[in-house]
Amino acid sequence: MSRTRDQAYLVGEQYKNADNLRARIDLHERFSSNKEVFARWLFDQIIAPPEAKVLELGTGPAHFWRKNSERIPQGWQITLSDLSPGMLEEAKKVGSSLMADFDYKLIDAQTIPFADAHFDLVIANHMLYHVPDLDKAIAEIRRVLKPGGKLYAATNGQDHMKELDQFILEHLKPKLDSEQPFELLQGLSFRLENGKETLQKQFDNVELYPFDDHLEVTEAEPFLAYIYSMNRLQSIVLDQALLAKVMQEAKVALDQKLELGPIYVTKSTGLFAAF
Ligand SMILES: C[S@@+](CC[C@H](N)C(=O)[O-])C[C@H]1O[C@@H](n2cnc3c(N)ncnc32)[C@H](O)[C@@H]1O
């Protein structure tokens, strides 16, 4: 199975804490050309009553709420949830510093432990592509939503960060002396191009709001930290000393390239609303 949906890997390595996610958020925050903060843009799209029961699936370190802290409606009862215990601990730390009515629960999106028609709003940002049985998760979300309740789910498109894969394939993989197949970032199970069809199996109305952006990266280190955070090179090479050497050489090559100007990285991201 793809590591993107391998739950033992996701909980035990990739999302055992928020370090990997932070490296990726850092690159986006520092080098995005669109200066509107993505998490705030997401919040702007949400239409929900002032009194609402809200469930966030795959909350990670509660980044979405931290970025919108001063405008969380007082009347929202919010359950922050994640599959990974380590992530949920990070969410608790962040949540306890914010003025909002949060509670916390370990939840796999495939089996949501709430009664039918319980929530007004479910938020599932950049996480549905990690779920092994996507149809089951969408059916569970529909089940726990009240009639007229809404799902908001951000995800990426096919070309998102494609220059990163190109860089890995051209500059890193050939030096790693590994025959292991390399898993590309492209081809997520739930992406901008196919998400509508998936959601329409359970929801009558599905809308897509694209977010227009790209990166202009001017520093080698955060670019390489992003690559490292994906853990995909570590999975194809056992010799970590060799990997460290190859990354160091890549930094030198990148620094030279950056003298000619910023590195352009495509972003393809957006938000589905389903109701
Ligand atoms: C890319 S992070 C997104 C975090 C956050 N939603 C955000 O947008 O910043 C994906 C999160 O989904 C969680 N996750 C993965 N599979 C899950 C599942 N089946 N059910 C619930 N959460 C899951 C991971 O542990 C991780 O915290």
Question: Is 238 within a domain?
Answer: no
Q: Which residue minimizes the CA distance to atom 14 of ligand 1?
A: 58
The pLDDT tens digits of the residues spanning 235-253 come to 787 788 888 999 999 999 9
Distance CA 252, CA 101 (A): 48
Of the candidates 254, 264, 246, which has an alpha carbon nearest to the alpha carbon of residue 172? 246
Which structure tokens are listed for 23? 């490296």
HSE-CB at 18 with a 13 A cutoff on CA atoms is: 18
- Read off the pLDDT of each residue in 195-200 and give the average, rounded to a whole number: 98
Domain around 117: 3-161+183-214+264-274
The pLDDT tens digits of the residues spanning 37-61 come to 999 999 999 999 999 999 999 999 9
What is the total count of domains within the chain? 1
Which residue is it, tokens 């990426």?
Answer: 156
Say yes or no to pLDDT of 183 above 90: no
* Helical ranges in the chain per DSSP H: 7-9, 19-31, 38-45, 63-67, 85-96, 134-144, 162-167, 195-200, 220-229, 232-236, 240-258
DSSP designation for 181: P
Say yes or no to pLDDT of 189 above 90: yes
Question: Is 124 within a domain?
Answer: yes
Query: What sign does the dihedral 66-68-74-78 (CA atoms) show?
Result: negative
Question: Is 225 within a domain?
Answer: no
Question: Is 106 within a domain?
Answer: yes
The average confidence (pLDDT) of the chain is 94
Distance CA 5, CA 265 (A): 25
134 lines ligand 1 (CB under 6 A): no
Quote the pLDDT of residue 173.
87
Question: Is 141 within a domain?
Answer: yes
94 lines ligand 1 (CB under 6 A): no
> Which pTM value belongs to this model?
0.95
Q: Which residue minimizes the CA distance to atom 8 of ligand 1?
A: 125
**CA-5 nearest atom, ligand 1:** 16
Instruction: Return the SS3 of 140.
Output: helix
Question: Is 229 within a domain?
Answer: no
List Cβ neighbours of 37 (8 Å cut-off, separation of 6 or more): 29, 67
